[in-house]
Amino acid sequence: MKILTLGEIMLRLSSASGQRLSNTSSLSCHYGGGEANVAISLANFGHDAYFASLVPDNLLGLGVKQHLQYYGVHTDYLLFGGERLGTYYLETGVSQRGSQVIYDRAYSSFSQISNDIWQDATLFTGIDLFHISGITPALSEDWQVLTKQLIQKARLAGCKISLDINYRGKLWTQAAAGLVIRELLPLVDYCSAGELDARYILALFDDKAISVDLLTCYQKMVATYPNLAVIYSTKRQVRSASENDLQGFIYRDGHLSMSQAYHISPIIDRVGSGDAFSAGILHGILKGWDAQEIITFGTAACVLKHTIEGDRNLFTEREVLRFQKQGSGDIKR
Amino acid sequence: MKILTLGEIMLRLSSASGQRLSNTSSLSCHYGGGEANVAISLANFGHDAYFASLVPDNLLGLGVKQHLQYYGVHTDYLLFGGERLGTYYLETGVSQRGSQVIYDRAYSSFSQISNDIWQDATLFTGIDLFHISGITPALSEDWQVLTKQLIQKARLAGCKISLDINYRGKLWTQAAAGLVIRELLPLVDYCSAGELDARYILALFDDKAISVDLLTCYQKMVATYPNLAVIYSTKRQVRSASENDLQGFIYRDGHLSMSQAYHISPIIDRVGSGDAFSAGILHGILKGWDAQEIITFGTAACVLKHTIEGDRNLFTEREVLRFQKQGSGDIKR
Amino acid sequence: MKILTLGEIMLRLSSASGQRLSNTSSLSCHYGGGEANVAISLANFGHDAYFASLVPDNLLGLGVKQHLQYYGVHTDYLLFGGERLGTYYLETGVSQRGSQVIYDRAYSSFSQISNDIWQDATLFTGIDLFHISGITPALSEDWQVLTKQLIQKARLAGCKISLDINYRGKLWTQAAAGLVIRELLPLVDYCSAGELDARYILALFDDKAISVDLLTCYQKMVATYPNLAVIYSTKRQVRSASENDLQGFIYRDGHLSMSQAYHISPIIDRVGSGDAFSAGILHGILKGWDAQEIITFGTAACVLKHTIEGDRNLFTEREVLRFQKQGSGDIKR
Amino acid sequence: MKILTLGEIMLRLSSASGQRLSNTSSLSCHYGGGEANVAISLANFGHDAYFASLVPDNLLGLGVKQHLQYYGVHTDYLLFGGERLGTYYLETGVSQRGSQVIYDRAYSSFSQISNDIWQDATLFTGIDLFHISGITPALSEDWQVLTKQLIQKARLAGCKISLDINYRGKLWTQAAAGLVIRELLPLVDYCSAGELDARYILALFDDKAISVDLLTCYQKMVATYPNLAVIYSTKRQVRSASENDLQGFIYRDGHLSMSQAYHISPIIDRVGSGDAFSAGILHGILKGWDAQEIITFGTAACVLKHTIEGDRNLFTEREVLRFQKQGSGDIKR
Amino acid sequence: MKILTLGEIMLRLSSASGQRLSNTSSLSCHYGGGEANVAISLANFGHDAYFASLVPDNLLGLGVKQHLQYYGVHTDYLLFGGERLGTYYLETGVSQRGSQVIYDRAYSSFSQISNDIWQDATLFTGIDLFHISGITPALSEDWQVLTKQLIQKARLAGCKISLDINYRGKLWTQAAAGLVIRELLPLVDYCSAGELDARYILALFDDKAISVDLLTCYQKMVATYPNLAVIYSTKRQVRSASENDLQGFIYRDGHLSMSQAYHISPIIDRVGSGDAFSAGILHGILKGWDAQEIITFGTAACVLKHTIEGDRNLFTEREVLRFQKQGSGDIKR
Amino acid sequence: MKILTLGEIMLRLSSASGQRLSNTSSLSCHYGGGEANVAISLANFGHDAYFASLVPDNLLGLGVKQHLQYYGVHTDYLLFGGERLGTYYLETGVSQRGSQVIYDRAYSSFSQISNDIWQDATLFTGIDLFHISGITPALSEDWQVLTKQLIQKARLAGCKISLDINYRGKLWTQAAAGLVIRELLPLVDYCSAGELDARYILALFDDKAISVDLLTCYQKMVATYPNLAVIYSTKRQVRSASENDLQGFIYRDGHLSMSQAYHISPIIDRVGSGDAFSAGILHGILKGWDAQEIITFGTAACVLKHTIEGDRNLFTEREVLRFQKQGSGDIKR
């Protein structure tokens, strides 16, 4: 299958565990971004994945291109221009101390895009699935308009639309996000959204004091946006920065399916685990699996991501399936 | 507020986790010492902190000075001279294997001090709090005399006196420590001491077989030394070198207050966590907080220290308070 | 006591935790092999340990020799020749992701041995114990013949025989292993074997569906091979690649003794922990300890191994005994 | 003496030798900026050095503050605010391949300053020397106005004025720089400027084809700007990125003095060597040395800088003088 | 243009400078092989480059594939199978101590190929240039047959043929190589060969005692093999492992052209510099440049390679041309 | 042959190139000492080498033992006891900046020895050569007595005596050294001594203003101490910390022989190169080579040492001889 994802990709600069950002003498480098991470996972699963973005025409932009090529992601729509590559600093948390992020992404090439720079390209030709996230419209007012236009073009070209709401409190308010996301949702087929999204972004429930469960949320979402064929999310209990419990959920055809609950300890790198999950879900959908197979696979891919440094996941379909079967963490020799 | 701490500062040479001291090919370097660590924490919390000591006039002595300056600790009373900087080797433990220390501190510049080398200085002028530990009188007989003299001078200058008993079995016997500490305690306002100190150093209980709880210990301490305004300590359950449970206790005005119990896993570096705790308690006292606020803050600071490589703590008041509120270990982005 | 172990030693090339083998930019190097690891542990415990093998006459062969010498293992019977040193790649697992091994050991100098290259040497003269593993006959048909010949020679020279069955599914089938091992067992005094070995390699139970416990297995083994003076093994519950529970068992004189159960978390390096256990057991036997002392010591040595990078264990008898007594993981200073 | 320097300080992210920026997996971190580097050197030489700037109120801004404090530079005028810390990427050159820089400094807190944010401060009170560079007015039109205003204020306060022309072709054109620098020069006492500056920035020579030597340049500069008490520069012959020849020159009272020529190989880090030179010259001026002593010291300091990783120099006056005397590179033991 | 290169690619495991192979604790990993390195360089220069080989179907084989993809090399003809990936150990030399290599490449997947495994593929369709080296027929007798067959097929398909003689004394004798290479040369258009090749492999001169220069060699080669359109080589004077002088030569249309002589010091990594040179020459031929332009470019690319860790070159055409113009090693900022 | 060397062995803690000791965050660890280094080299050359010393009974003492065992040095006379292992800090120089040493060796176990702790051992039984250096009597007055006693015992036992004068200005004055060394020299057979030793330690020339060459020095030495069978030294021209020229000289039977002059650049680690030279010379003597063969071999070994990190040399006789023949620094493959 052919998939196109589009979004910003940044240089992540992260401190080692046990160090603080203010006095580290070196930083690890990883290129990452939600949509790029999804494209890489899908390429690892055997699909023809394309990633569209804009990066500066310098050695960092070249680094982005080669990073994508390494995994076999097609870079036909990775354009070069603009002023700078967005970056962010990650102080890697451990134990009781959570990770923290300093964004330095303003004025990036991608965020400054004000019109469809891919308009002359055959961007959606032959594409089965177009994946995008709620981070993109958070970048500028131009991007709020552009995001909707791109989704509409994709639909016209016959693509299925996948949206990861991916709310980031450091980029915009819940109210601002709500206005934009609620306008996009009627165009979407597959959506990554959790209880907090349903409640605070989509504002589906009047009285915020009443507790609602995930099933109720998803039922209400589909009642409001009947175009949504699949909704999915993880529930994560954060015991510490190093120890989380995680379970995956998917809603399709009126039923809620769920994976086993995993205990993940220690966590090597949590960033990008949501993208690994989304990619696993989308892979299952593209393969035509049933809901239980999909959520089992997506959650397994997500769990494995936590054991890998860097934003993107590194496992093939065969490896994820083997992990589902053998599970433990035992050595093979 | 102005605080003066005085004591030895050493070069710590530590092996990486998973390595043994005997066959490591590199050692991590950290300068540290109980009183220096307290001074750094208090400087991080916004106080005017001074550290007094003696280090050799070579590149390692310069390293000590710059280490303190980095955190804004004043080095007016850091003198230069003597033969060598005390060092110690730390084999970093992990999992079931505990850390171990090889002291190489004999003949250090500081330990060889035999009279008040700061006597012409205005050492205690304007100082609100003077903090010292039981390690210093353990270094020599001269230091047993000097420690008491310094405390007396400080009291005359109007300083509050803080003493961390900090018994080290590799430096002296419990009996020897008892004689000295019991002579100092009548001069002290704030004291870090636990059940073992009360029992074996202060010898407050005749029959050692009878179990006594911390409250009883503290009541007996105050009955014996009514000058003690605050006594505090942590209880630590060592599940392994990587996993501890920890809770903080403070006794003031006849009441025992305690923090929540924290589960810390994995531990990056436990050395200096007691100093981080003391500094947190002293900060709370200096701020005029109530006992519950103090112990909550001190324990939170202590827990965060476990996530940081090196002896000194690296958090501001704002960061500790944010940790108390958010707690978990979740990522902020 | 004098001990000879004989087998293959390889270069292990392992990726760092959080990295995958396919895209690591550096690999850690450790020389290791079951019998060599046992020899090193026994040398650390104070014995005269010899290791016999064949390695190529190049810098890697020299590295093997120096590796053994470092621990005081005698290398009189370490011969030089053949084409290559066997290697294996270890992708170090963490958390839910298990370690995995890529063997690259075919055509190694040792595996190509086709006749007794030590025949002119006084190989077994003065040796009290000869230790070998089931990996060696798995290497070739020649080695199946040679292994038996060597054991027979050792018995003639008066050595006790120790065999670690050590079944490796990547080297041969259970059926093939069974044929060979069952021919060797009548010559063995001390045997490392677990339930799976009893069932699938020794085929001691007709109906595989019926659950049998370890005691039954060992009773049946001794009934079949009454020459077996000691049988031992660990039970390991793999919660994850980083977290295992482990308990040791020993069967002697009709009684099954066991150690306490240890919780090991995090695991630094599990490879070689079985060898550390065997060496601990053999040390106890050589010292004439009782069964409970032996299994306590062997399991403690095994637990400590998990905290050390590399295949061989690094603890003296005194250190293992101190760990048995102090246990926790507390810091000593 | 009291010195104030003012300018931008950035985070430098540099690749290791032998790596390219596009595919490095880690970057070394150093805070640096011309004026900050000068302040650090002068503090190392024993002066009271102040550095004024604006950095964001986050962990990177804190890192800058601690970086300066480490060397004893006063941070009273280091203010916090604005959007981001300027950064630049350095691909470290070696052998025939030169280093290259990717600036990512636009929109930094410092560059966005539009009015005198230190106006209420007693910025120049008691300051003997104010040092600034031509990089600052290159940052914005506001900074062109501000730079001149600050220099005028400093003169009113009785400071001597030091200007390092420091032309950067990636920031502005020679023509633009010329207009600004020529307006500042009449206010300056000590100026770092070379032949290229005299020719292309100051446009002192009509016919560019005629070769002029450094003495002629300096004579013409002083003829044009008779306020210039000292002018100085190095001549550097770049044999390769790893091997340079370097000689220092100073012009005072109508005479040109010069240092010996040094052969520097290999170069560890050339960035900041010009600042080390300027600081050495200014130190000599502040000490009242004669021209030959000044240029000898400044060039020695500059040469030593090439052997140190990071932008700032790390030597005391005593160490530089010892190097001048012993010179060679021999080991002392 | 479309280029196909075919050959073995191996995992290089190299020690750090200053370490010996026998006692290093880590090894750097690079995938490399003469033909793969040429393909990568040509892809960096903007061509459609294909690399054909056989690697094992494991994580190392995947690593090879991703390594090639990173640079945009097409992997359609990279097949998976066989037993193992060839490896070699490189003890990195420095100063007076030369590098040394331990080959561990016997029994590799590629070396065991005995028939044309790409026969059903459209291997040469649309390919302009087929590049291969003399290492491949050195691997086995089957490969001596296959190499010739592949070249003949390529010629039939209309490809130009490029051969790098690349004699390796550790793989075969000069006599054996001579027999094979002399049979291939009549099929070749572009050949990398030096004086030693002409004399000892091609045996063009009867009396070995008489000194002949490069021009004479090339004239004799073309006289013997008039099909040779271009012959090229470098002359390298090895002053030490860290310091070489290097000059490039090309012979076309009866004329010998040469580059400037470069002094390279220090050398970061010399391995693959010959491949970088060949790729630069082939690029110039494909671009239709004149001989002087070609040799200037090829030598510049070769010189830059020495500054990069790893076997493959990392520069674009634009970067090589800029280096030719600016040359020095100066910093750009 | 059997060789015994006796002296102090220390832990060297060295900073990386480009770092200063005062602010390094890690230190490399090497065990080293002149006599231990000689023993290791001689073991590498195939001799039975013994090293006698005293180290503390802790993990660092164990590390020393294993360090020696690694190279096959016999540790029968390595005793355990005393307070501490001597250490020294090495700031690694580069380019124009020389290395510098901070000794922290006072109060070490070895330096505190006051009587012959090996007296009951068969220390010199069967030993052909006893090697010691002038550093040992520099450690204490007791050691001045002991050194002479040990040499006398060795002579009685029939050993040849080798002395490396090895004057260290940080340990004693030239006058003090002279008194001691001149008392030892009549007992010595082979002596490492240079012009400065002849002039300033042995005080062989009245008028210090007159220039004397090495031959004159050696002639005068032998005239004064006719027992000296061999005298040898290197001449080193220190161009920088990274670049030295070096030539070896030996005087025997009235003739001065010399090696070629080597240019060494870059120097990885110069410490221990004198010991590598001495060991090479002693090896040649033990092998019965002629003077030219000896000095050629000794100098080659010394040159190779400069390319290796750590104090001890790492080459076999075969490797040194191959280097003498091939010389260059070319790669072998």
Q: How far is CA C155 from the centre of its chain?
A: 20
| pLDDT in the model for residue F209 | 59
Using alpha carbons, select from C219, C252, C231, C137 the residue that is nearest to residue C188.
C231
Distance CA F263, CA F166 (A): 23
Instruction: With cut-offs at 50, 70 and 90, classify the pLDDT of residue A122.
Output: confident
Using alpha carbons, select from A233, A210, A231 the residue that is nearest to residue A220.
A231
- Burial of B119: CB neighbours in 10 Å, binned 0-12, 13-18, 19+: exposed
What confidence tens digit (pLDDT) does each residue in C65-98 have?
Answer: 999 999 999 999 999 999 999 999 999 999 999 9
What confidence tens digit (pLDDT) does each residue in A133-187 have?
Answer: 999 999 999 999 999 999 999 999 999 999 999 999 999 999 999 999 999 999 9
- The minimal CB distance from E97 to the residues F265, F269, F307 is found for F307
Cβ–Cβ contact D201 with E under 8 A: no
Cβ–Cβ contact E107 with C under 8 A: yes
CATH of the domain at C27: 3.40.1190.20
CB neighbourhood size of C216 (10 A): 16
Asked, for residue B331, whether it belongs to a domain, the answer is no
Asked, for residue C204, whether it belongs to a domain, the answer is yes
Asked, for residue A332, whether it belongs to a domain, the answer is no
How many distinct structural domains can be found in chain B? 1
- Tell me the DSSP string of B248-289: EEEEETTEEEE---EEE-S-S--TTHHHHHHHHHHHHHHHT-
3-state secondary structure of E297: helix
CB neighbourhood size of F157 (10 A): 15
Beta sheet of F10-14, edge-to-edge order: B100-104, B87-91, B10-14, B26-32, F26-32, F10-14, F87-91, F100-104
Instruction: With cut-offs at 50, 70 and 90, classify the pLDDT of residue A211.
Output: confident
Tell if the CB–CB gap between A71 and E71 is shorter than 8 Å: no
Asked, for residue A34, whether it belongs to a domain, the answer is yes
Using alpha carbons, select from E127, F240, C296, E142 the residue that is nearest to residue D268.
F240
Distance CA A13, CA A30 (A): 7
| pLDDT in the model for residue D251 | 98
Residues of A in contact with C243 (CB under 8 A): 265, 329
pLDDT more than 70, % of chain E: 98
Interface size, chain E vs chain F, as Cβ–Cβ contacts under 8 Å:
79
DSSP strands (E only) in F270-320: none
Tell if the CB–CB gap between A18 and B332 is shorter than 8 Å: no
What confidence tens digit (pLDDT) does each residue in B39-49 have?
Answer: 999 999 999 99
Cβ–Cβ contact A265 with C under 8 A: yes
3-state secondary structure of E9: coil
Mean pLDDT, to the nearest integer, of D170-176? 94
Tell if the CB–CB gap between D99 and E326 is shorter than 8 Å: no
Residues of A in contact with E70 (CB under 8 A): 66, 69-70
Asked, for residue D175, whether it belongs to a domain, the answer is yes
DSSP strands (E only) in D220-260: 230-240, 243-252, 255-258
| pLDDT in the model for residue D331 | 81
Distance CA F266, CA F239 (A): 11
Distance CA E21, CA E19 (A): 7
Cβ–Cβ contact A72 with E under 8 A: yes
F215, F228 Cβ separation under 8 angstroms: no
- Burial of E199: CB neighbours in 10 Å, binned 0-12, 13-18, 19+: middle
User: Searching chain E, which residue's CA lies closest to the CA of residue F326?
Assistant: E98
Using alpha carbons, select from D295, D300, D316, D277 the residue that is nearest to residue D37.
D277
Distance CA F66, CA F55 (A): 12
Cβ–Cβ contact B29 with F under 8 A: yes
pLDDT more than 70, % of chain F: 98
Using alpha carbons, select from F184, F168, F195, F181 the residue that is nearest to residue F251.
F195
Residue D231 has pLDDT above 90, yes or no: yes
Mean pLDDT, to the nearest integer, of E127-138? 98
Q: Which F positions 203-262 lie with beta carbon below 8 A of chain B?
A: none
Could you tell me which residues come within 8 angstroms of residue B60 by beta carbon, excluding any fewer than 6 positions away? B11, B85, F21, F22, F89, F102
Q: Read off the amino acid at residue E203.
A: A
Let me know how long chain A is: 333
Query: Domain range for residue B171?
Result: 2-326
Asked, for residue D331, whether it belongs to a domain, the answer is no
Q: What share of chain A is helix, strand, coil (3-state, %, to 5)?
A: 35, 25, 40
Interface size, chain A vs chain C, as Cβ–Cβ contacts under 8 Å:
80
Instruction: With cut-offs at 50, 70 and 90, classify the pLDDT of residue D207.
Output: low
Using alpha carbons, select from C81, C171, C87, C98 the residue that is nearest to residue C134.
C171
Distance CA C108, CA F245 (A): 44
| pLDDT in the model for residue A207 | 66
Helices (H), D157-288: 174-184, 195-196, 214-224, 273-287
Residue B64 has pLDDT above 70, yes or no: yes
- Backbone CA torsion sign across E50, E55, E60, E62: positive
Residues of C in contact with A331 (CB under 8 A): 93, 98-101, 241, 270-271
Structure-token pair, residue A324: 């589902």
Using alpha carbons, select from C104, C178, C169, C117 the residue that is nearest to residue C143.
C117
ipTM above 0.85, yes or no: yes
Using alpha carbons, select from F206, F272, F193 the residue that is nearest to residue F10.
F272
- Burial of C280: CB neighbours in 10 Å, binned 0-12, 13-18, 19+: buried
Could you tell me which residues come within 8 angstroms of residue D232 by beta carbon, excluding any fewer than 6 positions away? D190, D191, D192, D248, D249, D250, D251, D277, D278, D281, D295, D298
Q: Share the mean pLDDT of chain F.
A: 96
Instruction: With cut-offs at 50, 70 and 90, classify the pLDDT of residue B209.
Output: low
Residue A209 has pLDDT above 70, yes or no: no
Distance CA E112, CA E84 (A): 10
CB neighbourhood size of A209 (10 A): 5
Question: A23, A24, A64, A83: which to substitute to probe chain D, counting the most D Cβ within 10 Å?
Answer: A23
Asked, for residue E244, whether it belongs to a domain, the answer is yes
CB neighbourhood size of F333 (10 A): 15
| pLDDT in the model for residue C333 | 74
Helix or strand (DSSP H, E) at F281 = helix F273-287
Query: What separation in angstroms does the CA of F22 have from each of A198, C45, D39, F19?
Result: 56, 40, 19, 9
Could you tell me which residues come within 8 angstroms of residue D330 by beta carbon, excluding any fewer than 6 positions away? F98, F238, F241
Structure-token pair, residue B294: 């103090």
pLDDT more than 70, % of chain B: 98
Residues of D in contact with F243 (CB under 8 A): 265, 329
Tell if the CB–CB gap between C314 and B100 is shorter than 8 Å: no
CB neighbourhood size of C119 (10 A): 9
Report the predicted TM-score, pTM, of the whole model to 2 decimal places.
0.96
Q: What is the mean pLDDT of each run of 10 residues along chain C (333 residues)?
A: 97 97 97 98 98 98 98 98 98 96 97 92 93 98 97 96 95 96 98 94 80 92 98 97 97 98 96 98 98 98 98 97 86 77
Greatest CA span in chain D, whole angstroms?
A: 57
Asked, for residue D303, whether it belongs to a domain, the answer is yes
